[in-house]
Amino acid sequence: MEMILIKPESQEWNYMWDWLAEHPINEGIEQPSIALNMEYGEAWQYMGSFKQNNRIIHEFRHRVHPKTNDRMYLKVNASENITDEDIEKTLSVK
C-alpha cells in the first residue's frame, strides 16, 4: 500500500475539504469543515490518503463529532483532476 500526503492549499486539498464541508453529517454546523465540538475541543482531522486498487482515497477523522458525540471516519475518492503537483509525499507501507 502507498500512503500519500496531499499538499496543503493545492487543488486536491481544497477539493477534499470542500467535500467534507458538504457531507450530510455536517449539515447545519457553522463551520462544517471543522465541526468543532466545543465541549471536547475536537475537530475534523485529515488522516492522510492512500492508494488502493489504482485509486487514491482521502481519510478524515473526528474524535467526537458535535452531532453524534461519536468517533467518525469519512473517506472520499480523489478528484478526477488530481495531479502529481497535488501530492506532497508518497510512502510505501508494507
Q: What residue ranges do the domains of the chain occupy?
A: 2-92
Tell me: pLDDT of 94 over 80.
Answer: no
C-alpha span between 73 and 47 (Å, rounded)? 9
C-alpha span between 83 and 86 (Å, rounded)? 5
Q: Cβ distance 5 to 11 under 8 Å?
A: no
Q: Cβ distance 20 to 60 under 8 Å?
A: yes
pLDDT of 9-62, one tens digit each? 999 999 999 999 999 999 999 999 999 999 999 999 999 999 988 899 999 999
